[in-house]
């Protein structure tokens, strides 16, 4: 499994448009084959920061995602939404299990 975490700072002036585009991207991405989960949330302490948590079955699923129309459209629009440089971390996961708290 591949997990991506991205921290994306949004320009407050375009925040509403950015969140609409992010919501559309996340919904379409969750419907893709090979996508285990795809979430985007705002940061509690700073509503102008969005965190993406993306889970893919494998490299092929991640590659397919980046070729979709919805991803390409979002990637083209992203620079106008940004207030800084996104931070993206990739994790290659051998196994995962749910924890009981």
In DSSP notation, 41-95 reads: EEETTEEEEEEEEEEESSHHHHHHHHTSHHHHHHHHHHHHHBSS--EEEEEE-S-
pTM metric for this prediction: 0.93
Amino acid 25: pLDDT = 98
Residue 85: count other Cβ atoms within 10 Å of its Cβ: 9
Contact 7, 89 (CB under 8 A): no
What is the C-alpha to C-alpha distance for residues 21 and 93, in angstroms, rounded to an integer? 29
Amino acid 39: pLDDT = 98
14 Cβ neighbours under 8 A, 6+ residues apart: 80, 81
**pLDDT values of the chain reduced to their tens digit, one per residue, 101 residues:** 999 999 999 999 999 999 999 999 999 999 999 999 999 999 999 999 999 999 999 999 999 999 999 999 999 999 999 999 999 999 999 999 999 99
Contact 64, 71 (CB under 8 A): no
Amino acid 17: pLDDT = 97
């Amino acid at each position: 499994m591949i997990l991506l975490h991205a921290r994306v700072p949004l320009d407050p002036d375009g925040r509403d448009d950015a969140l609409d585009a992010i919501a559309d991207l996340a919904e379409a991405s969750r419907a893709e084959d090979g996508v285990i989960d795809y979430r985007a949330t705002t940061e509690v302490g700073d509503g102008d920061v969005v965190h993406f948590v993306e889970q893919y079955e494998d490299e092929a699923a991640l590659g397919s995602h980046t070729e979709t129309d919805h991803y390409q459209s979002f990637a083209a629009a992203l620079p106008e939404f940004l207030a800084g440089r996104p931070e993206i971390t990739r994790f290659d996961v051998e196994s995962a299990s749910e924890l009981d708290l």
